């Protein structure tokens, strides 16, 4: 396990360097003057420009600038937002909200998705299965902002079941609707993965053995079938985390959730380049860390991975 | 071969092998030359054409393509130029079946003219993703070794940045040059690693087949084996995810336009219209609803097509039905 962990950690390093380099390259090696973008139509005095260029190392060669940026990231410094706040302060304020939203969404999609997938898989070809597949096909086709607006309009504005926007402090009951919307993107995929995984596991020899030695269905389904079917679902959560982050950006924008996503959403709307880069970097790092953790978890769950 | 005279030789007491006249060797040894040839694609076509889902999604796609190619046949109203603020969020009237946007433009006309944008971006992204994915996946899978190591790590790096986030960054950099090409490039440049991974793992499965060994034995150059034998035999799963990627690209364009980093408002784009309408969601929800329906139906038809193709090409998926 230690060997596997070390190998996996070593693999992350080039990806991390490459990804941050790409983001940095996209923003700062491309045509356009960052300072001109900062000031818009009214250019500042030349002295100010020179001072800012010096302050942000813009006079140094590109690669040196990149290393300044990288050093900042490794010291936990993600830069300063447009309005002069440190990104770390903004993160400290907004991150807990997004984590709460994401965990709630993952909870919803896992519980509902695994339940529907399990029942569909066990009763392959039945009415429940056909309905489930149909609903999941429709859900996959709906872009997240469409789901968001439809839910906001019908469930919150028309029916008044939920609050259409999230109040200060983001209490849990306000987060339910955004979390449901966020869960809807991956729900369909989890249903399908669980379904096909359950069908495959249910036809394996050890399940037949369990039946033939007289175990009850109530024991075989959760312990033998479900547990062995969940590995691909858990791995999927890792690769899907990127979708979750993008989804959170849109959902938090629609429901005005005071999280990381909305901060990025507003930075995008206002065209604040440096803020966008900082937050995208944070999200990419988060994505890499989550995938690393899930890979390690995967190896704990399935020993075959470690020895491969 | 010596003739066997079955009439003169003494009858043997036992038969360990069935006598010649009882064994229809023809049926065992010959290939029916006049029979229909069969391969994965013909089987898939036979499977697909019996399924109503295929014809429904094909019809939907053809209608959308037709609308995108000839918008003038569906509406005579210009989408952008004949807007009157007096009609802002107005109810449907004669000749304006879906009412008006906040700017007083005809909703139906904007939806009809938006189809071309969605499809164009979808197709350019798909071509880009397919080309990059096949190049990276083929060389990585077929050549292996350090080529695989290098190409796969490059793929990992691009995969580490969720492609919509990457597109957000690229589009904010190109704030002044936003057009259909730039947005397609922004989406496609980061969306290819999945295709490459799928092709690579399929090639790893295929490249040790007997026909590859045979081709090597008769001296076919390695490069030619890759393009003539290995890639065509590994392309099926790539076709499946490419169809679904087309739907993903359309969603990505709408999402970027919705976020405000997509196409400028002079372009007809459903994402733009949805973003515009969100401010008046409470008072005029229909203005937001109609482009959302158009977008969802388009995505739905491509996803449904992808599902049908997946079922037809993937025997494992077929067995699970």
Arithmetic mean of pLDDT, B67-79 = 77
- Rounded Cα–Cα distance for residues B143 and B145 (Å): 7
Arithmetic mean of pLDDT, B291-318 = 83
**B-chain residues within 8 Å CB-CB of A246?**
162, 164-165, 255
Task: Give me the count of residues in chain A.
Answer: 308
| B304, A137 Cβ separation under 8 angstroms | yes
Q: Which regions of chain A are under pLDDT 50?
A: none
Q: Is B127's pLDDT higher than 90? A: yes
Task: Give me the count of residues in chain B.
Answer: 321
pLDDT single digits (tens) B152-210? 888 888 888 888 888 888 887 777 778 888 889 888 988 899 899 889 988 888 888 88
Q: Is B83's pLDDT higher than 80? A: no
Average of per-residue pLDDT values in chain B: 80
**A-chain residues within 8 Å CB-CB of B282?**
153, 157
Give the position of tokens 């394996």. Answer: A204
- Rounded Cα–Cα distance for residues B160 and B114 (Å): 32
pLDDT single digits (tens) B215-254? 999 988 988 888 888 888 888 888 888 888 898 899 898 8
Check B296 against A243: CB less than 8 A apart.
no
Q: Is B129's pLDDT higher than 90? A: yes
pLDDT interval class at B307 (50, 70, 90): confident
**B-chain residues within 8 Å CB-CB of A137?**
300, 303-304, 307
Q: Is B305's pLDDT higher than 70? A: yes
Q: Is B12's pLDDT higher than 70? A: no
| A169, A178 Cβ separation under 8 angstroms | no
Instruction: Give me the residue from A19, A143, A152 closest to B299, CB to CB.
Output: A143
Check A283 against B300: CB less than 8 A apart.
no
The pLDDT score that the predictor gives to residue B20 is 66
The pLDDT score that the predictor gives to residue B1 is 46
Minimum Cα–Cα distance from A275: chain B residue: B169
Check B299 against A142: CB less than 8 A apart.
yes
**Percentage of the residues of chain A whose pLDDT score is greater than 90:** 0
The pLDDT score that the predictor gives to residue B98 is 67
- B278 lies within 8 A of chain A by CB: yes
pLDDT single digits (tens) B273-295? 888 877 777 777 777 888 888 88
- If you write DSSP's letter for every residue of B42-99 in order, what string do you get? HHHHHHHTT-HHHHHHHHHHHHHHHHHH-GGGT--S-TTTS--GGGTTPPPBTTBTT-
- B154 lies within 8 A of chain A by CB: yes
Average of per-residue pLDDT values in chain A: 79
**B-chain residues within 8 Å CB-CB of A23?**
161, 166, 169
| Bridge partners (DSSP) listed for residue B106 | B100
- B255 lies within 8 A of chain A by CB: yes
The pLDDT score that the predictor gives to residue B114 is 84
The pLDDT score that the predictor gives to residue A294 is 80
Arithmetic mean of pLDDT, B25-43 = 67
ipTM for the complex shown: 0.80
């Amino acid at each position: 396990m230690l060997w596997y962990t070390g190998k996996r950690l070593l693999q992350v390093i080039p990806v991390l360097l490459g990804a941050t380099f790409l983001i940095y390259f996209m923003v700062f090696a491309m045509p356009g003057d960052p300072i001109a973008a900062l000031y818009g139509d009214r250019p500042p005095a030349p002295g100010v420009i020179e001072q800012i260029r010096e302050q942000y190392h813009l006079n140094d060669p590109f690669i040196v600038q990149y290393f300044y940026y990288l050093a900042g990231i490794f010291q936990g410094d993600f830069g300063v937002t447009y309005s002069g706040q440190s990104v770390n302060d903004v993160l400290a304020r907004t991150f807990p909200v997004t984590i709460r939203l994401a965990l709630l969404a993952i909870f919803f999609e896992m519980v509902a998705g695994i339940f529907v997938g399990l029942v569909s898989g066990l009763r392959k070809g039945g009415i429940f299965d056909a309905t489930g597949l149909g609903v999941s096909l429709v859900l996959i086709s709906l872009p997240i902002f469409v789901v968001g607006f439809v839910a906001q309009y019908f469930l919150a504005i028309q029916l008044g079941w939920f609050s259409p926007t999230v109040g200060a402090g983001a209490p849990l009951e306000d987060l339910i609707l955004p979390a449901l919307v966020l869960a809807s993107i991956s729900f369909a995929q989890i249903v399908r993965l669980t379904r096909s995984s359950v069908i495959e596991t249910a036809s394996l020899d050890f399940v037949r053995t369990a039946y033939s030695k007289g175990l009850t269905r109530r024991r075989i389904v959760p312990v033998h079938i479900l547990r062995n079917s969940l590995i691909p679902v858990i791995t999927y959560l890792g690769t899907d985390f990127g979708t979750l982050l993008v989804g959170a950006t849109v959902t938090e924008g629609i429901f005005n959730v005071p999280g990381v996503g909305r901060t990025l959403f507003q930075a995008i709307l206002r065209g604040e380049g440096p803020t966008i880069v900082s937050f995208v970097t944070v999200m990419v790092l988060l994505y890499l860390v989550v995938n690393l953790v899930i890979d390690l978890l995967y190896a704990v769950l399935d020993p075959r991975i470690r020895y491969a | 071969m010596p003739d066997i005279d079955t009439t003169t030789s003494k009858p043997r007491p036992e038969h360990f092998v069935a006598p010649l006249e009882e064994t229809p060797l023809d049926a065992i040894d010959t290939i029916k030359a006049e029979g229909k040839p069969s391969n994965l694609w013909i089987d898939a076509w036979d499977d697909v054409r019996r399924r109503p889902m295929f014809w429904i999604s094909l019809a939907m796609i053809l209608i959308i393509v037709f609308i995108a190619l000839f918008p003038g046949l569906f509406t005579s109203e210009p989408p952008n130029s004949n807007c009157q603020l007096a009609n802002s969020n107005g109810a449907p009237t004669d000749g304006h079946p879906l009412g008006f946007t906040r700017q007083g433009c005809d909703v139906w006309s904007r939806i009809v003219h938006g189809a071309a944008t969605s499809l164009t971006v979808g197709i350019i992204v798909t071509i880009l993703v397919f080309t990059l994915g096949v190049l990276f996946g083929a060389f990585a899978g077929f050549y292996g070794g350090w080529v695989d190591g290098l190409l796969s790590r490059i793929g990992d790096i691009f995969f580490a940045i969720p492609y919509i986030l990457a597109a957000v960054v690229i589009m904010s950099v190109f704030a002044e040059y936003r057009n259909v090409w730039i947005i397609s490039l922004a989406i496609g440049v980061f969306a290819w690693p999945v295709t490459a991974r799928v092709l690579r793992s399929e090639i790893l499965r295929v490249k040790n087949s007997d026909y590859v060994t045979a081709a090597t034995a008769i001296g076919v150059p390695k490069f030619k084996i890759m393009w003539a034998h290995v890639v065509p035999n590994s392309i099926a799963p790539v076709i499946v995810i490419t169809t679904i990627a087309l739907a993903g690209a359309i969603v990505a364009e709408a999402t970027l336009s919705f976020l405000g980093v997509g196409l400028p408002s002079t372009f007809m784009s459903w994402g733009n219209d949805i973003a515009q309408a969100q401010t008046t969601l409470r008072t005029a929800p229909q203005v937001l609803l109609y482009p959302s329906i158009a977008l969802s139906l388009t995505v739905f038809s491509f996803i449904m097509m992808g599902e049908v193709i997946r079922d037809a090409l993937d025997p494992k998926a077929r067995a699970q039905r």
